[in-house]
Amino acid sequence: MNTQTLKALAEARNLSQADIGRYAGVSRQAVSQWFKTPETDISIGSLHLKALADAIGASADDLLRPLPLVDKPMELGRVQTQLLWDRLYPSVPALAAAAVRGEAAAIARLVQSYGLYATADMLGAKVWRDFPAYKTHLIPARRRALEAIWQLRQTKR
Whether the pLDDT of residue 117 is over 70: the answer is: yes
pLDDT the model gives residue 132: 96
What average pLDDT does this structure show over 74-90? 82
How sure is the predictor about 56, in pLDDT bands with cuts at 50, 70 and 90?
A: confident
Reported for 12-15, long-range contacts at CB under 8 A and 24+ positions apart, including other chains, are 12/93, 12/96, 12/97, 12/100, 12/101, 13/56, 13/57, 13/100, 14/101, 15/56
pLDDT the model gives residue 66: 74
Q: Please tell me which residue, 43 or 20, carries the higher pLDDT value.
A: 20
- What residue segments make up the domains of the chain, in order of their start? 3-64, 73-156
Residue 21 and residue 31 in contact, taking contact as beta carbons nearer than 8 Å: yes
pLDDT the model gives residue 92: 81
Whether the pLDDT of residue 19 is over 80: the answer is: yes
Q: What CATH topology corresponds to 3-64? A: 434 Repressor (Amino-terminal Domain) (1.10.260)
